[in-house]
Amino acid sequence: MNRTYNAQVDNGLFVLAYYLNKSYKDLTMDDLKSSVDLFADKMYSSVSEDGKPAKTNWYSLSTQSHNNSFLNQYTRTRDKIYNQLKDLIDGIGQDKVCMCCGERLVNIKYENDAINAFLAGAPSTKNFFNKSNNLQTIDICNKCLYLSYISFLNTQKLGYAFLYLSDSDEFMEYITEELQLNWKTLDITLKQSDMDRHFIETMSEFISYEDIFDDMTYIDLIYFQNGKTNYYEEDTVPKEKIRFLLRLKKRGLINEFYNLKLFKPYLKDKFLMYYLVDRNKLEMKCGEKLYRELEEHSMTKKEIELIKYTTEKLLERDSAENILKDLKLCNKKSEFERFIKDRSKDVLVYDSLEDFIELTEGFYKYKSVLEANLLIKKNKGGC
């Protein structure tokens, strides 16, 4: 079988491969068809313990993801889950090509009200606004729906239902094994805002910043809900960012990074230096060590040199405190430009016209960095 890069379908594929002890590449349709019993057992025992709701990640997720009465009403029997899985397998057709896996496995006559319970974001009669649309025209095959359904076993709870999806097969195999071996002890109290710690701790258990899977370019963090309401959010963490986060951990700076809540802005490519200065109190929010790491990571050498030059020139004529007070009033590019010009009356605070343009065009960026550099100097009692 092949990967589809749909989060749920791929996670289901790795779950299937794990339990059948095969590479996903060697899985056949017969393997899929003969796995119904196995997954009826696995899924039932993940939500039910002696006829009571299991105290597990999966029971707590059962109303949020893969929502259907067979999973979240634990009193229903294993046979109900079995029948649902069997129904999906029996419904595999060959009428049309599946938009997810690209194989001719779509059955245009297959009907199932709970389609959205199997695949996040899939329209169904329950969530589709215009019910007159013919829902059978959504060309997703039952093999993909089946894999989506069993991806439940790779789903974690971080506020929302949560799945990893990476282009690295090795990572997908690793995380699948971790989740299957530790499913009884997964923390069900984690929130979406705990993702930074959860992600970095998980990563550092098996990779270091010097040594990340060769076949990896990214990991997607996928939050979703396909219960009564639908929700989907995705953050991509490229390998370079994983490497940098692990480096911060190794250097003992990661707790400061967590406390400043920089993870989300970092993933969204925000300019992190902006978050490091408390502009009301005119104080640094982090130590110099973390600041320098982030500076080196967020800016080019040329940019760092340019702002270093301007900081030194400004300090030749006035105290950091006075400069910071003036800088605080620069809320627009034109005000910053005026500030630079005023401070350049006797001695130019930039090296060339090119640098002046760079500074003022990059007002948003350079203002924060200038503030931080001045605050660091001030804290050192340099002026």
Residue 180, Cβ density class (10 Å: 0-12 exposed, 13-18 middle, ≥19 buried): middle
- Dihedral angle over CA of 328, 329, 333, 338, nearest 10: -110
- Residue pair 97/103 in contact (Cβ under 8 Å)? The answer is yes
Footprint of Zn ion on 23-52 (CB under 5 A) = none
Binding part of the chain for Zn ion, among 137-145, 210-218, 331-339, 362-370 by CB under 5 A, reads 137-145
Q: How far is the CB of 122 from Zn ion (least distance, A)?
A: 12
CA 227 to chain centroid: 21
Q: Is 307 in the site for Zn ion (CB under 5 A)?
A: no
Residue placing its CB nearer to Zn ion in the complex, 107 or 236:
107
- Residue pair 98/261 in contact (Cβ under 8 Å)? The answer is no
Residue placing its CB nearer to Zn ion in the complex, 144 or 327:
144
Burial call 36-56: b when 16+ CB within 10 Å, e when fewer: beebbebbbebbbeeeeebeb
* 348: three-class secondary structure by DSSP: coil
Q: How far is the CB of 141 from Zn ion (least distance, A)?
A: 3
Residue placing its CB nearer to Zn ion in the complex, 141 or 219:
141
Binding part of the chain for Zn ion, among 52-60, 80-88, 138-146, 165-173 by CB under 5 A, reads 138-146
What is the SS3 assignment for 239-268? HHHHHHHHHHHHCCCHHHHHHCCCHHHHHC
Q: Is 237 in the site for Zn ion (CB under 5 A)?
A: no
Burial call 80-114: b when 16+ CB within 10 Å, e when fewer: bbbebbbebbebbbeebebebbebebbbeebebeb
Q: Is 144 in the site for Zn ion (CB under 5 A)?
A: yes
Q: How far is the CB of 92 from Zn ion (least distance, A)?
A: 9
Separation CA 171–CA 167 (nearest Å): 8
* 362: three-class secondary structure by DSSP: coil
Residue placing its CB nearer to Zn ion in the complex, 47 or 165:
165
Binding part of the chain for Zn ion, among 114-122, 136-144, 314-322, 342-350 by CB under 5 A, reads 136-144
Q: How far is the CB of 143 from Zn ion (least distance, A)?
A: 5
Q: How far is the CB of 96 from Zn ion (least distance, A)?
A: 10
Q: Is 203 in the site for Zn ion (CB under 5 A)?
A: no
Residue placing its CB nearer to Zn ion in the complex, 2 or 208:
2
Q: Is 372 in the site for Zn ion (CB under 5 A)?
A: no
Q: How far is the CB of 223 from Zn ion (least distance, A)?
A: 23
Q: Is 219 in the site for Zn ion (CB under 5 A)?
A: no
For Zn ion, what does the binding mask look like between residues 86 and 105, x meaning CB under 5 A?
------------x-xx----
Q: Is 147 in the site for Zn ion (CB under 5 A)?
A: no
Binding part of the chain for Zn ion, among 81-89, 134-142, 184-192, 193-201 by CB under 5 A, reads 134-142
Q: Which amino acid is at 75?
A: T
Instruction: Please select the residue that binds Zn ion; options are 15, 92, 115, 141, rule is CB under 5 A.
Output: 141
Least Cα distance to 107 among 90, 89, 127, 93 occurs for: 93
**Total residues belonging to the chain:** 383
Separation CA 289–CA 252 (nearest Å): 10
Q: How far is the CB of 127 from Zn ion (least distance, A)?
A: 20
| Total residues interacting with Zn ion, rule: CB under 5 A | 5
Q: How far is the CB of 249 from Zn ion (least distance, A)?
A: 39
Binding part of the chain for Zn ion, among 139-147, 226-234, 264-272, 287-295 by CB under 5 A, reads 139-147
Q: How far is the CB of 119 from Zn ion (least distance, A)?
A: 10
Separation CA 189–CA 158 (nearest Å): 8
Interface positions with Zn ion (CB under 5 A): 98, 100-101, 141, 144
